């Protein structure tokens, strides 16, 4: 099933350069602004105060948003991924010490791929 990608646009001109009134507070732990309350007031940068309509993105616009979402997900979960991969590699090393027959796993393409994944995960900038 393909995910439907939607956004909001000006009901007059169709521009997506629009917004909605809201409050935000700064979170010093993350350094980010956290949305508090969302109000009814909406506007278009071109038309001023207007109502917004929900529109479905298709084609390249939808593809671009999906790529941005995927990148955000990777950055958000990079640390967890790295920890899981390092734990997996530690488990493989422990098994190899306990059961020498398993040492071949570390030297095989599985071990090489696991180490490559760890190295790649270390290069991902986190959100």
Name the residue with tokens 């700064």: 26
pTM: 0.55
Please name every residue paired with 7 in a beta bridge, in sequence order, or none if there are none. 55
What is the C-alpha separation between 27 and 8, in angstroms, rounded?
27
What is the C-alpha separation between 60 and 49, in angstroms, rounded?
29
Structure tokens at 126: 């986190």
Q: How many residues does the chain have?
A: 127
Question: How remote is the C-alpha of 52 from its chain's centroid?
Answer: 26
One-character DSSP codes across 31-79: TEEEEEEEEEEEEETTTEE--EEEEEE-HHHHHHHHHHHHHHHHHHHHH
**pLDDT per residue rounded down to tens, the chain (127 residues):** 567 889 999 999 999 999 999 999 999 988 889 999 999 999 999 999 999 999 998 888 888 888 888 888 887 888 888 888 888 888 888 887 888 777 777 677 777 777 787 777 777 776 5
What is the C-alpha separation between 108 and 51, in angstroms, rounded?
60
What is the C-alpha separation between 87 and 78, in angstroms, rounded?
14
């Amino acid at each position: 099933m393909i995910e439907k990608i939607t956004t909001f646009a000006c009901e007059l001109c169709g521009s997506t350069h629009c917004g909605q009134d809201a409050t935000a507070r700064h979170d010093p732990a993350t350094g980010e602004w956290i949305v508090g309350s969302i109000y009814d007031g909406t506007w278009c940068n071109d038309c001023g105060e207007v109502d917004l309509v929900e529109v479905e993105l298709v084609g390249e616009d939808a593809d671009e948003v999906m790529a941005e979402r995927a990148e955000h997900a990777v950055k958000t979960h990079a640390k967890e991924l790295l920890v899981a991969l390092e734990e997996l590699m530690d488990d493989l090393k422990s098994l190899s010490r306990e059961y020498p027959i398993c040492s071949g796993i570390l030297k095989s393409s599985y071990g090489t791929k696991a180490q490559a994944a760890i190295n790649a995960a270390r290069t991902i900038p986190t959100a």
